[in-house]
């Protein structure tokens, strides 16, 4: 009966549902890396720009004209949003973004004449609370009402951007306009992690389009049945195995590497990693 057949089809997971599920796993790892460093609005604007850029390329590859209407259809964006994105390239979109709200606050404090001292022409020390030229007003203008003044102060104090001046009226003084929420080492780790993740996805995208004989290695092996008591031993053995293979991979790269950098050369590489589905804090001592 048609009604029964339709209900059966509705109950089946479609491709979009499956992809959305696995996307959430990928996005969760990316968010875990960047949360507290890059704001959601910044990520959304960058993603919009990338979506439109990649949609243009896809339509051109398929022999279609990348009109605003076609781009809106393939991306799910309003044509007005598409027009706004097309008016600037991805690089300018990224430059226009404040990686985090604190950056907007510090920029405003440093550049806006309202928050500068007329005599010294430097950012003025600001009373913490109250109306007018205060730190509270600065927070409201640049970040909004959803975040408390104390929360912003704690972040900027911990990053060394401000200091509190004691007195009858407590004030905050701007020490540095450069917001650095992470240590250089952790920033580097995040950069390396995101680059490696993009390289894995590059192999996946290539293999989706390539003939079987030109596909590149993109494999994984795992078990669901590892005792927690044996995890550290496994990790140690896996490290030994990967270190041996890394040396062999370096030798292979050196064998094929040209003696000097020239135009038109490719960047190629090999990756090794070991993963697990538990959190580091879950490991037994």
Instruction: Report whether pLDDT(39) > 90.
Output: no
Q: Read off the pLDDT of each residue in 208-221 and give the average, rounded to a whole number.
A: 91
Instruction: Considering only residues 190 and 166, tell me which one the structure prediction assigns the higher pLDDT.
Output: 166
Instruction: Report whether pLDDT(180) > 90.
Output: no
Q: Name the range with the highest mean pLDDT among 22-36, 205-219, 234-248.
A: 234-248
Instruction: Report whether pLDDT(170) > 50.
Output: yes
Q: Read off the pLDDT of each residue in 92-100 and give the average, rounded to a whole number.
A: 56
Distances (CA, A) of 135 to 39, 112, 116, 118, 142: 21, 13, 12, 17, 11
In the chain, helix, strand, coil percent, each to 5? 60, 5, 35
Q: How far apart are the first and last CA of the chain?
A: 60
Q: What is the pLDDT of residue 20?
A: 84
Q: What is the pLDDT of residue 181?
A: 67
Rounded Cα gap, residues 233 and 202, in angstroms: 32
Instruction: Report whether pLDDT(269) > 80.
Output: yes
Q: Read off the pLDDT of each residue in 141-164 and give the average, rounded to a whole number.
A: 89
Instruction: Report whether pLDDT(130) > 50.
Output: yes
Backbone angles phi, psi at 116, to 5 degrees: -105, 155
Instruction: Considering only residues 244 and 95, tell me which one the structure prediction assigns the higher pLDDT.
Output: 244
Q: How confident is the model at residue 12 (pLDDT cuts 50, 70, 90)?
A: very low
Rounded Cα gap, residues 122 and 275, in angstroms: 50
Q: How confident is the model at residue 95 (pLDDT cuts 50, 70, 90)?
A: low
Q: Read off the pLDDT of each residue in 131-158 and give the average, rounded to a whole number.
A: 90
Rounded Cα gap, residues 266 and 39, in angstroms: 34
Q: Read off the pLDDT of each residue in 37-60 and give the average, rounded to a whole number.
A: 89
Instruction: Report whether pLDDT(126) > 90.
Output: yes
Q: What is the pLDDT of residue 4?
A: 38
Instruction: Considering only residues 77 and 191, tell me which one the structure prediction assigns the higher pLDDT.
Output: 77
Give me the chain's average pLDDT, please: 85
């Amino acid at each position: 009966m048609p009604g029964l057949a339709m209900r059966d089809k509705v109950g089946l997971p479609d491709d979009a549902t499956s992809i959305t599920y696995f996307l959430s796993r990928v996005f969760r790892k990316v968010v875990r890396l960047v949360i507290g460093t890059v704001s959601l609005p910044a990520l959304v604007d960058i993603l919009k720009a990338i979506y439109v850029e990649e949609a243009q390329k896809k339509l051109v590859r398929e022999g279609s004209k990348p009109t605003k209407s076609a781009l809106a259809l393939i991306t799910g964006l309003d044509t007005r949003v598409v027009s706004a994105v097309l008016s600037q390239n991805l690089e300018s979109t990224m430059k226009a973004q404040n990686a985090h709200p604190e950056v907007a606050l510090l920029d405003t404090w440093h550049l806006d004449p309202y928050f500068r001292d007329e005599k010294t022409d430097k950012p003025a020390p600001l009373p913490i609370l109250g109306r007018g030229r205060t730190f509270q007003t600065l927070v409201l203008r640049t970040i909004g009402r959803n975040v408390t003044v104390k929360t912003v102060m704690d972040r900027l104090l911990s990053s060394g951007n401000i200091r509190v001046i004691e007195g009858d009226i407590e004030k905050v003084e701007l020490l540095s306009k450069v917001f650095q929420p992470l240590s250089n080492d952790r920033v580097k780790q995040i950069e390396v992690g995101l680059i490696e993740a993009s390289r894995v996805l590059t192999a996946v995208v290539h293999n989706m389009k390539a003939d079987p004989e030109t596909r590149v290695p993109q494999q994984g092996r795992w078990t669901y049945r590892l005792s927690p008591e044996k995890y550290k031993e496994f990790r140690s053995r896996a490290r030994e195995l990967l270190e041996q293979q890394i040396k062999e991979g370096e030798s292979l790269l050196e064998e094929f590497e040209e003696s000097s950098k020239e135009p038109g050369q490719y960047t190629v590489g090999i990756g090794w990693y070991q993963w697990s589905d538990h959190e580091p804090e879950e490991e037994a001592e």
